[in-house]
Chains A and B, each alone.
Chain A
Amino acid sequence: MSTSLTARTDTASTASLDEFDRTTSRWGQLTMIAGLIISLAGPMYLVIFGNLDVATSQLWTAFAAVAGTFFVIWLVEPLTYFPILGPAAMYQAFMIGNISNKLLPSALVAQTNIGAKPGTKRGDLAAVMAICGAAAVHLTSLLVFVGLLGTWLISVIPEDLIAVARLYVLPAVMGAVIVQAIVSMKQLRPTLIAFGVVLVVQFVLLPLVPALSMMSTAISVIGTIFIAWFARRRTSDVVA
């Protein structure tokens, strides 16, 4: 079969690698654009046909607040993951989601198992196949355990339990995520600065200027970035 490499000329292998690049970037982009549009179609439908009296200004205000909070992450994550995933897998990863906790470990395990280095062609192909495998498992378990079982579970759980879950799931998620973020970032200075800035915004700034409460998280994020940047360790020693 086609496993004997030596028989192949350089031009032939370059050509077939080029074809892989072309196919994955063309179809990767097309499928990602399709995913982007379909994922927006649901909320657009609700807003337009839902009779919910949603004003356009409400939508943009909400989005501005979300953007103020997360714009740095939008820009930084693709830059961070590119060297490990390679161009082809980028279009998979940012649609399948849960990159750092699921897809990266899958890609790294696959690369280790076949002895491929990240950043090489072998590494890229291993990452692509690993992510396909991860996607197969993930889509199946989501459909079965969340789509079918989860929906059923919600329909049989007593209403007052659902109400409690709805009311308190947010502080539960945030409590856990704060600890997770502190542990995985491992940066004491930005952590302390973030706590300081948030406390000042929440308990000094907001009582003085209540109108800012709509944007309080975005203000805290931008403030923390500035202070953390100017207060960073200037020594060029290795950052952990």
Chain B
Amino acid sequence: MTPLALPLDGSSTDILAVANSPVLWICGLGVFAVIIIQSVIYMRAARKAAPAAGMTQDELKTSFRSGAIAAIGPSLAVVLVAVALLALFGTPAVLVRIGLIGSAAYETGAANVSATTMGAALGGDTYTQQVFAVAFFAMSLGGAMWMLATLVFTPILKRGGHKLAKVNPAIMTVVPAAALLAAFISLGTAELPKSAAHVVTLLSAAAVMGLCVFLSRKLGKNWLREWGLGFAILAGLTVAYFAHGAGLSPVA
């Protein structure tokens, strides 16, 4: 058998056969390796520069430790969401796209938008290996745009101070809010006509998220908000399981 070509058939819906292929695993772990190398280089540079910035080695250690401890909760919250998405995208894509570079909201949004351009829907009968490949490509290229913007803007911002961000405060508040809200409201609304089970899934996830936000404010517990997304997805899927079993599923 040839080492590179996969024995695939674009119309198959066995997504995990493609999504968990060894080459994707290698690329995924490659991104992990790049981040580790970057961290090591940065920590060595920081250690050297610390005295000049008026920072002790103890303060460097404290910063590292504070960052690590603060990340435990949010990291595990991301893990929960990532596991829920494994069936949709396979492990390597979930690790890189949802776990690292992107976030659950953007990446599932991008994948869904891509599938729609092919007349398909993520997760259903039309979600073939071909649709997965196109969606994975488009979400990865989309993620690359974030990095590209960072590579272009960082040197400019460094030179020109924060002028660019201060052009007009309204641009920096109204426009992103409008873009973000419209994107996710549109993606959510597009789910509703699919079936009654989709409707109750969306509504129950929204309700649980709302409850988590409300309780976190009421009780002053920030972690409830961090975990909200994971809890809401689990609740949504549980409701979906019973709704699906009760015959509210899309007509085959």
Contacts and interface: CB of A to CB of B under 8 A. Distances in A.
Contact of B236 (A46, A70, A176): A176
A12 B48 CA distance: 12
B179 A31 contact: no
B231 to A, nearest CB: 8
Nearest to A26: B41
Contacts, number: 619
B34 interface: yes
A134 B71 contact: yes
Contacts of A91: 38, 150-151, 154
A59 B123 contact: no
A171 B201 contact: yes
25 contacts: A2-B51, A29-B151, A43-B133, A54-B133, A62-B113, A62-B117, A62-B134, A70-B145, A128-B46, A141-B79, A166-B127, A170-B123, A171-B199, A175-B206, A180-B213, A181-B181, A190-B174, A191-B181, A198-B185, A201-B186, A202-B190, A217-B109, A217-B187, A221-B182, A229-B170
Interface in B166-198: 169-170, 172-192, 194, 197-198
Interface size class for chain A? Answer: 35 or more
A172 B106 contact: no
Which of A95, A116, A135, A179: most chain B Cβ within 10 A?
A: A179
Contact of B86 (A136, A151, A195, A197): A151
Interface size class for chain B? Answer: 35 or more
Identify the 7 closest CB pairs spanning chains A and B, nearest first: A130-B67, A172-B236, A133-B67, A175-B205, A133-B68, A20-B49, A13-B52
B42 A24 contact: yes
Interface in B48-68: 48-57, 59-60, 62-68
B4 interface: yes
